[in-house]
């Protein structure tokens, strides 16, 4: 790992998720957008494609800074470092329109507070700047801050078609959608050495020796081990579910993120698996679920059950109700 005291890498990711309404002919598919178009969009973000995997329902890209997932009418772009994902938003909307997608039904942009916000590039130098940029495209968008605004917090921006036109979800239910994200800091140094080239030369060795391949065993994994350290992986399964993990192992600013849209009626066991794998000193959990999701009514169970975990203090918990989604946000630190 780098020993230079001036070296820093921002592991905290910016997460952009966009859902489109069905196209007019109901057969258009974002996955038909050619690779060269994605490569051009990612130049706006200041990252590039490292690896690619796919099945019949989802395309997954490992990027030089995190990941991108594309399904029929959804884009997920998650990037770390000093990347600028919002810079590709308007170019992407123009390209999507060419492929039959003219109407966004839901948009989410979220991130944890940066460790060093001063090194970020416009429009990511602060959440107010990000909100101003997003509001210029989505005047009906809404912004939130969960957690303590002067300490650890998590920012969220949402746009929903149903909010914008003031209607409720009709009899035609949306596709089930849920996302769990676990953001971990101050990781066990012994665990983090697994994700260095000093320890292993191949990504699959880090994946198996860390236990990542056992978190959600039905996932087909595409992984990458960076030089001299750092790790990214995407996993996809036949149901169109994904998982992604990104690891910044340096001791002074160690950071790990886990994200998945796996549909469960209780996430306690999954959270325990992830925490046991990486052993952080503190972590944040956020769970989104829409009304069609298996997880929509079960987040209260997590609130009750996980708060009983003896080795953790729950320092904050907030629940939010949106027109089509519920959100649970919680922060934990070791006792």
In-domain check, residue 2:
no
The per-type count for the chain, helices as H runs and strands as E runs, is 8, 16
Q: Which three-class secondary structure state does DSSP give residue 8?
A: coil
Find out whether 250 is annotated in a ligand binding site: yes
pLDDT (tens digit, 9 = 90+) per residue, 311-321? 888 889 998 88
- Domain-located, residue 240: yes
Q: Is residue 8 one of the residues assigned to a domain?
A: no
226 assigned to a ligand binding site: yes
CB-CB contact of 333 with 313 (8 Å): yes
pLDDT band for 299, please (50, 70, 90 cuts). low
pTM of the model: 0.93
Do the annotations mark residue 181 as ligand-binding?
no
- Tens of pLDDT, residue by residue over 110-144, are 999 999 999 999 999 999 999 999 999 999 999 99
114 is in an annotated binding site: no
Q: Is residue 312 part of a domain?
A: yes
Would you state the pLDDT for residue 171? 39
Average pLDDT, the chain: 91
Structural domain count of the chain? 1
Is 66 part of a structural domain of the chain? Answer: yes
In-domain check, residue 72:
yes
Beta bridge partners of 126: none
Split at pLDDT 50, 70, 90, the class of 172 is very low
Backbone phi, then psi, for 189, in 5-degree steps? -60, -35
Q: What is the 3-state secondary structure (H, E, C) of 150-181?
A: CCCEEEEEEEEHHHHCCCCCCCCCCCCCEEEE
Q: For residue 1, is it within any domain?
A: no
93 occurs within a structural domain: yes
User: What is the Cα–Cα distance from 232 to 230, expressed in whole angstroms?
Assistant: 7
Q: Which domain holds residue 320?
A: 14-334
- What's the CATH number where 330 sits? 3.60.90.10
Residue-wise pLDDT for 198-231, tens only, equals 999 999 999 999 999 999 999 999 999 999 999 9
Name the residues annotated as catalytic.
66, 80, 232, 246
Residue 162's pLDDT band (boundaries 50, 70, 90)? low
Lowest mean pLDDT among 244-248, 321-325, 328-332: 321-325
């Amino acid at each position: 790992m780098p020993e230079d005291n001036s070296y820093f890498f921002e592991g905290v990711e910016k997460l952009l998720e966009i859902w489109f309404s069905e196209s007019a002919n109901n057969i258009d598919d974002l996955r038909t957008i050619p690779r060269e178009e994605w490569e051009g969009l990612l130049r706006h973000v200041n990252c590039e494609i490292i690896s690619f995997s796919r099945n019949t329902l989802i395309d997954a890209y490992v990027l030089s800074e995190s990941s991108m997932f594309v399904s029929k009418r959804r884009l997920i772009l998650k990037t770390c470092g000093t990347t600028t994902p919002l810079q590709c938003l308007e170019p992407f909307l123009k390209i999507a329109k060419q492929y039959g997608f003219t109407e966004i039904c839901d948009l989410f942009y979220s991130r944890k507070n940066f460790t060093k916000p001063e090194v970020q590039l416009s429009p990511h130098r602060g959440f107010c700047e990000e909100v101003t940029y997003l509001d210029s495209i989505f005047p009906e968008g809404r912004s939130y801050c969960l957690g303590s605004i002067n300490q650890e917090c998590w920012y969220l921006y949402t746009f929903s078609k149903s909010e914008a036109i003031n209607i409720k979800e009709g009899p035609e239910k949306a596709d089930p959608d849920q996302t769990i994200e676990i953001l971990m800091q101050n990781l066990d140094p012994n665990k983090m050495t697994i994700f260095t080239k000093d320890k292993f030369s191949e990504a699959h060795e880090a994946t198996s020796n860390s236990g990542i391949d056992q978190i959600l065993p039905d996932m087909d994994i595409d992984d990458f081990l960076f030089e001299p350290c750092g790790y990214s992986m995407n996993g996809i399964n036949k149901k169109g579910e994904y998982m992604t993990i990104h690891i910044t192992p340096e001791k002074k600013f160690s950071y790990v993120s886990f994200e998945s849209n796996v549909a469960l009626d209780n996430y306690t066991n999954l959270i325990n698996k992830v925490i046991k794998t990486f052993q952080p000193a503190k972590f944040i959990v956020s769970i989104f679920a829409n009304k069609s999701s298996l997880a929509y009514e079960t987040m209260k169970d997590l609130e009750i059950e996980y708060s009983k975990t003896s080795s953790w203090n729950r320092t904050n918990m907030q629940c939010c109700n949106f027109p089509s989604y519920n959100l649970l946000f919680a922060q934990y630190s070791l006792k």
